[in-house]
Amino acid sequence: MLDFGYPVLTILIAFPLVAACGLFFLRAPQVVRYYTMAVSLIECLLAVPLTGFKLNADFQFVEKIDWVHQWGLQYYLGVDGISILMVLLTIAVLPLCVMCSWTYIGKRVKEFHFCLLFMTSAVLGVFCALDLVLFYVFWEAMLIPMYLLIAVWGGDDRKYASLKFFLYTLAGSTLLLAAIVAFRVTGGTFSIPDLMQMNFSFRFQFWAFLAMALAFAIKVPMFPFHTWLPAAHVQAPSAGSVILAAVLLKMGTYGFLRFCLPLTPAASEYFAPMMIAISIVSILYGGAIALGQTDIKKLVAYSSVGHMGFVTLGIFLFNQRGVEGALFQMLNHGIVTGALFMMIGAVYERSHSREISNNMGLGKYLPAFMFFWGLMALASFGFPGTNGFVGEILVFIGAFEQSTILGMLLVPGALLGAAYMFRVSLKLAWGKPSTAKTWRDLNAREWIYLTIPAVFVFWIGLAPTPFFKIIDPSVNKLLEDFDSRKVAVVEIVQPLQTAAADVLNATAEKE
Amino acid sequence: MNFNITALVPELFFLCMVLALMVQSLGSREWKPPVERWLPFGACAAFFVTITGFHLHGTMFWDVYKVDLMSQFFKIVITFGFYVVVLNASRQPTLEEGKRADYYMLLGFSTLGLMLLASSVELITIYLALELASYSMYAVIPLRAKDKGAAEAGIKYIMFGAVATALALYGLSYIMATQHTTYIAELMNKSWSFADQPMAVVGLSLFLGGMFFKLALFPFHFWCPDVYQGASNETAAFVATMPKMGAIVVLCRLAVLLKPGLEITTILAVLGALSMTFGNLSALAQTDIKRLLGFSSVAHAGYIMVGLVSGTPEGIGAAAFYGMAYLVMNLLVFWVVSRVASDGRNLKLTDLNGLYKKAPALAFSLAAGAFALVGLPPTMGFMGKFFLITSAWDHGYNWLVITLVLNSAIAIYYYLSLFRHAFTEEKTPTEVAPPDNGWFASAGAGMLAAAVLVIGMIPAPLFNFAINAGKTLYGITVTFSGGGH
């Protein structure tokens, strides 16, 4: 059942996990680091066959094996234009994470890298799975390493943060499991592509959407389910924050795109106003709270709430610009916020503080650092020429296409983004330095792991066409399917509604 | 009387082993070799004999005893459980030297009773087998009787057990009086609606009560946390797992009488929901690990009800599969508990602190066990739960499925605390015996953890076995494909 020479996706998923088991035989921390670095680079090489991705909307590199025949479970993998970018992002983030933890992680180094590799496997599985249960397996499996990353290597308040993260996300996803079972019983299969062809009753979609959306909204996180995120981000070690920001949050929005829109189109349409409202609240709330932070990491964490608000907004606009913008923002946020967290880690290693006031005056003493920070800050609020601009402008266009008022509501959000980023950047660059005089500027390792995201900032910002080519066919197909099936469902619902109205009228007349 | 000795090979093998234990327990105290030297090999052989007999079938003793896929599935599970329990108990620090052979003999008789229970298809036979399985337990639990808690546990178990058995017998008389038969196969064709046969429904409810006692289903669970706490860790491992297999197999057989929507099915569903909720909420507050596991097993008893109320072969298969998963997960956790408490003390959660440092293999295995009990993938606990809810969805008990799902969310907290203490807490308690970190402890834990993970990832062969077993109960002929694929 392979449309490619060898099972590239399985290898990508399995390799980090298998390699992680090799860590048990290593002892010296430095050897562990080199080993993991090598593994992550090999993983990048293993991803090379993905360049054979054809620019159409089909699922590619498909692998399909019976898993539990009696229950119709399949080991079913494949990627389309929506997921392939996420897969590549995940793979690309891995070596950066290893590099940024090189000196940051001093204790239980082996276990740390094990968690990192385990997590990469699980997240790749999430983006590749085309069977609902397989998706759920990977979705849940990723919780354990992330919990450990926060609970063992985190800051002072790590226990509280890790427990909150675990309970929130697992509580949300248990309902996702109920929805998955409901899909199987109603649709007769767990295969996502097959389910995408089916029309479910509105009543079913209503409940299925709610159950799934709760799980995804917690993961994104959308206001008011976001409270685990700042705690987790602030307490997690740099690499943990990077993975959290770069890929884990994307799993939520990916879920909306992969499940809510194609499987429950009518309910998505029905709940869109609510989702849009929540997204706007997330954007404004995240921005406003970020503006008031004195802790750099908290600031970036709250800014994530705002940025992800743009993504969910784009998704629930249901127009091409909106969804494309959402996908771009998913990618951009991964790159930019990931880089910001790595830099926060770098500066923390120097000052042992995340307070803005303890890290000022870097413009003079750490110019290279400040260059990268400035670049990422600009990209973060969508300065033209950077990748953030491409994504944000698309969401803006999409919002204005929908309604002028909606578009206008986004403007303060964008302004807030600029405000908090300028505020923190100005202070970091030109604030009165405390001990920064003695710090060294970026070392070679830091140069490498910051240059790579910087390249992508400019690449996507200046020449986004290749990325459009990858995502466009899938987005078009998603929206076409959405429109046609939404109508099909409306046709079922409308006669029922008229009938109900008739009955009501008749009762009213009798009375 | 129809009798086919080849179909009884696993039981006969086991019987011989138990008789050997009895002879040794009667003999002088210095009998060589000591029982721990030879019994593990015997138990292992019994396990393999049962596996090789998985395809046996036949009905005997005037049709009260049936060897079929269901019985063989559970016999394999039960002999596997016995093997692990024997290994686990072979280093029991709180067991007096002179009582060792007696101890294993009692466990053996109880297990034999459970094996017979797996094949009983007639209510009186079920009753007798159940009693055989119970009586030895009554003797084993207070074995640590110098301890006040153990004495209390023993008395509680006997008193509750006696009442439950009396109820079951009373219910049996009602069923006989109204349905005029005690054969499950014939009972299947009778009406079980309250409107038609009120007495029979009451009788069946009472009879099921006896099984619920064994399963520790709410409200028959009061003995459970106390007995776990009072018995030694190794005995608790037996009590927590093995008698439940007996209860589950009988419930699976009786579940063919149930159709969704019947009053008695609804009672089961309600008890299941109460059991999960009560068990989980109570477990949240526990700090003693065995009490925690006791309440959690009340919750697990509730989960199993979800499969039974669906009234389909898939549901029964799912319940059987979950029963097996439950046995393996619990044996794993108890294995770790027994090894960590190398001096036989009762563990508190804080005793697990820093376990990853002192005994990494045990800590990792404990994590696998705890996550399996939560139902996180890729463990067999997840697959078991998943099969349960898939089988029950859309058979009129969606609310029960939702209750299960929400309960899993509650359960995370206390299972996670097992994991949390082992991996993230650094401060280790002082002046307690260190965990047993030898190769035997690590290998046992590692094997069980591997089983939990591997069956979680590749559940198909065992699950097919379970589902075929479910089908045979409904009289659906199963094309025999070797129990797999």
Look at A185 and B390 and tell me if their CB atoms are within 8 Å: yes
Point out the residue among A133, A152, A181 whose CB comes nearest to the CB of B424: A152
Closest chain B CA to residue A71: B387
pLDDT-derived band at B82 (thresholds 50, 70, 90) equals very high
Residues of A in contact with B350 (CB under 8 A): none
Q: What whole-number distance in Å separates Cα of residue A117 and Cα of residue A90?
A: 11
Q: Which of B268, B248, B160 is nearest to B204 (CA)?
A: B268
Distance (Å) from the alpha carbon of A114 to chain B's nearest alpha carbon = 13
Predicted ipTM? 0.86
Higher pLDDT residue, A155 or B372? B372
Chain A contact set for B393 (CB, 8 A): 181-182, 184-185
Query: How far apart are the CA of B178 and the nearest CA of chain A, in angstroms?
Result: 38
Summarised one tens digit per residue, pLDDT across range A409-456 is 888 888 888 899 888 898 888 888 777 778 888 888 888 888 999 999
C-alpha A36/C-alpha A41 separation (Å) is 9
Mean pLDDT value across residues A341-362: 86
Higher pLDDT, B431 or B324: B324
Strongest mean pLDDT among A244-248, A383-387, B325-329? B325-329
Which pair of structure tokens corresponds to residue B296? Answer: 């959690």
Q: pLDDT tens, A159-186? A: 888 888 888 888 888 888 888 988 888 8
Nearest chain A residue to B406, by CA? A174
Q: What angle do CA B441, B322, B348 make, to 5 degrees?
A: 45
Report the residue from A166, A174, A185 with minimal CB separation from B405. A174
From chain B, which residues contact A within 8 Å (Cβ)?
Answer: 314, 367, 371, 376-378, 382-383, 386-387, 389-390, 393-394, 401-402, 405-406, 408-409, 412-413, 416, 420, 423-424, 459-460, 463-464, 467, 485
Please determine, for residue B394, whether its predicted confidence score (pLDDT) is greater than 70.
yes
The SS3 of residue A102 is: coil
Distant-in-sequence, close-in-space partners of A17: CB < 8 Å, separation ≥ 6: A117, A118, A121
Across residues A362-370, what is the average pLDDT? 85
| DSSP codes of every residue in A298-323 | HHHHHHHHHHHHHHHHHHTT-SHHHH
Q: From the CA of B236, how many Å to the nearest CA of chain A?
A: 29
Q: With 80 as the cut, is the pLDDT of residue A510 above it?
A: no
Q: How far is B460 from chain A (nearest CA, A)?
A: 5
What are the tokens at B346? Answer: 């009762």
pLDDT at A495: 65
**pLDDT of the residue at A492:** 61
Q: How much is the pLDDT for B331?
A: 93
User: Stretch B284-291: mean pLDDT, rounded?
Assistant: 90
CB pairs under 8 A between A and B: 82
Residues in chain B with CB shorter than 8 Å from the CB of A167 are 409, 412-413, 416
* Averaged pLDDT, B309-331: 91
Q: Shortest CA distance to A241 belongs to which of A302, A327, A310?
A: A302
pLDDT at residue A496 in the model:
66
pLDDT the model gives residue B280? 92
| Mean of the per-residue pLDDT values of chain A | 86
The answer, yes or no, to whether residue B77 has pLDDT greater than 50, is: yes
The CA distance from A146 to the nearest CA of chain B, in Å, is 13
Which candidate in A25, A170, A173, A190 is best for mutational testing of the B interface (most B CBs within 10 A)? A170
- 3-state SS, residue B34: coil
Q: pLDDT grade, residue B484 (50/70/90)?
A: very low
Phi, psi of A265 (to 5 degrees): -65, -45
B120 bridge partner residues? B65
Confidence grade of residue B483 (pLDDT, cut at 50, 70, 90) = very low
Please report residues of B whose CB lies closer than 8 A to that of A181: 386, 389-390, 393, 401
Residues A450-466 pLDDT 10s: 899 999 999 988 888 88
Segment (H or E) for B41: helix B35-52
pLDDT digits (tens, 9 = 90+) for A268-301: 888 888 999 999 999 999 889 988 888 888 898 8
Test the A interface: residue of B379, B390, B426 with most A CBs within 10 Å: B390
